Structure 1
Amino acid sequence: MARIAIVGGHGQVARRLHPLLVQAGHVPVALVRNPAYAEELSAVGAEVRLLDLEQDDVDAYARAFEGCDAVVFAAGGGPDGNIERKRTVDLGASVRSQEAAAQAGIGRFVQISAINVDAPLPDDTDEVWRAYVEAKRDADAALRASDLAWTIVRPGRLTDDPGTGRVRAAERVERADITRDDVAAVVAAVLDDDRTVGVQFEVVGGEDAVPAAIAGIAS
């Protein structure tokens, strides 16, 4: 059994991930800003701790991670047009999470990123989309440069369709949709597979069962 700190613990992927971790015998520790989420998250087996991703410092993050064995960064700045939140959440909160994990003595770190964020952006790219892509790109680069036992999961466009349990995963895949259910299943799988340490991969809906897909990208 492991205790898994979930940064962005009330996010759409995180809420799907908690019960999967419980089923696997782990304890998800949902880190949220709003205490009103506690009852909902506790009902699916998560332990709830408070953390303000934008206002709290690295020491506060490290205290929130206390007693955990791994960290999943599942936070995002949201779908609105707030460029600054892309920088403070998608990048800033990720970097603070990485630093806090190291400070807390936690080696394992899984980050949910986005497909194709290393590709050059056209000059006419929308400012909000540019801020999002650059934040994800830079957060991934920081994690790769760290001493953490990292895995970076880069899903395609997220949908709320029911999960299929089947995906396509590789270092590079053609851009396509993937359900949030299936992203959660992929994250749960890589947490339990140390062969994915140091692996960055893209994932979309496909034909391979999740365990087979993860075995295919594991080093």
Structure 2
Amino acid sequence: MPKKNQFAIIGLGRFGGSVCKELIKLGHEVLVMDNREHKVNEYANIATHSVVADSTDEKTLKSLGIRNFDYVIVSIGDDIQASILTTLVLKELEISQVWVKAKNDYHHKVLAKIGADMIVHPEKDMGRRIAQQLSDEKVIDYIELSDRYSIVELIATTKLRGKTLIDLDIRAKFGVTILAVKKGEEMDISPMPDTKIDEGDLLIVIGENKDIKRFEDQAM
């Protein structure tokens, strides 16, 4: 069975709440924290533990056993100062994985300087994903890993029908890797070279953006 991690989510806006619900659905333990009582009450019956607290107070975080959590997600909305102070305290407490929602580029730069392990821009990331899907009918989903690398879900066209991965020789020709092939509800992770592609299959591809584009233009 996959390991069940312990997560703490600080800030219960739309993003934090959404992350909480999904993690609980996946079977993880989740502590939620917010300084607004009505927000904590909203998630009291969803999260494993819920608490009304000031996340910038080091003593409070210690008393909650924050060091025992595998990941702490800071999703404080408009209060950039509280977000930065909370992140700083968490890193001083030597939390190994602190993921923080950034409101803007300035916020991102400060978070990076104080040691945030992952910085996310939910609105910007979602905007890019939607733009990718709107601009290309073959793209089902798109996750940007960095400025150069992405994971893209592509739908197989007639051009690929009946071909195996070894026939396509995608890695050698285009420098991208097919992580999985989804046929209907069946997902084949790390598919074998003799895996046959059918029209309509979902190909989950990772690589440099320019190589993924080249693969899509030339092979599909």
TM-score range, shorter chain: 0.5 to 0.7
Higher-RCO chain (CA-CA 8 Å, sequence separation at least 6)? 1
CA spacing shift, 1:216–1:110, aligned 2, 3 Å: farther
For 2:19 and 2:98, how far apart are their aligned partners in 1? Answer: 15
Tell whether the 8 Å contact from 1:58 to 1:99 is kept in structure 2 after alignment.
Answer: no
Instruction: Kindly tell me the number of residue pairs found equivalent between the two proteins.
Output: 141
Which 5+ residue runs of structure 1 have no aligned equivalent? 79-84, 115-131, 145-149, 174-207
Q: Measure how far apart 1:71 and its partner are.
A: 0.8
CA spacing shift, 1:171–1:23, aligned 2, 3 Å: same
For 1:60 and 1:155, how far apart are their aligned partners in 2? Answer: 28
Q: Measure how far apart 1:23 and its partner are.
A: 1.7
1:7 corresponds to 2:10: yes
CA spacing shift, 1:136–1:90, aligned 2, 3 Å: farther
Instruction: Tell me what 1:75 maps to.
Output: 76
Q: Measure how far apart 1:169 and its partner are.
A: 0.8
Instruction: Tell me what 2:145 maps to.
Output: 170
Q: Measure how far apart 1:48 and its partner are.
A: 0.4
1:151 corresponds to 2:151: no
Q: Measure how far apart 1:95 and its partner are.
A: 1.3
1:97 corresponds to 2:93: no
Instruction: Tell me what 1:60 maps to.
Output: 60
- The residue type equivalent to 1:107 in the other structure is S
Instruction: Tell me what 2:32 maps to.
Output: 30
Pairing of 1:122-137 with structure 2 (within 5 A): 132-137=104-109
CA spacing shift, 1:7–1:39, aligned 2, 3 Å: closer
Instruction: Tell me what 2:181 maps to.
Output: none
1:20 corresponds to 2:22: yes
Instruction: Tell me what 1:125 maps to.
Output: none
Could you tell me the percent identity over the aligned residues?
Answer: 13
Residues 8-53 of structure 1, C-alpha deviations (whole Å, 9 max, x = no match): 1x11101111111012210111111123333320232342022213
Q: CA RMSD in A?
A: 3.3
For 1:44 and 1:98, how far apart are their aligned partners in 2? Answer: 27
**TM-score, normalized by length of structure 2?**
0.52
Tell whether the 8 Å contact from 1:31 to 1:48 is kept in structure 2 after alignment.
Answer: yes
Q: Measure how far apart 1:5 and its partner are.
A: 0.7
- The residue type equivalent to 1:18 in the other structure is C
SS in 2 for 1:143: coil
Tell whether the 8 Å contact from 1:18 to 1:46 is kept in structure 2 after alignment.
Answer: no
CA spacing shift, 1:155–1:13, aligned 2, 3 Å: closer
Q: Measure how far apart 1:66 and its partner are.
A: 5.2
CA spacing shift, 1:34–1:141, aligned 2, 3 Å: same
Pairing of 1:173-184 with structure 2 (within 5 A): none
Q: Measure how far apart 1:159 and its partner are.
A: 7.1
- The residue type equivalent to 1:167 in the other structure is Y
For 2:75 and 2:207, how far apart are their aligned partners in 1? Answer: 23
Instruction: Tell me what 2:52 maps to.
Output: 50
**TM-score, normalized by length of structure 1?**
0.52
Residues 190-213 of structure 1, C-alpha deviations (whole Å, 9 max, x = no match): xxxxxxxxxxxxxxxxxx99xx58
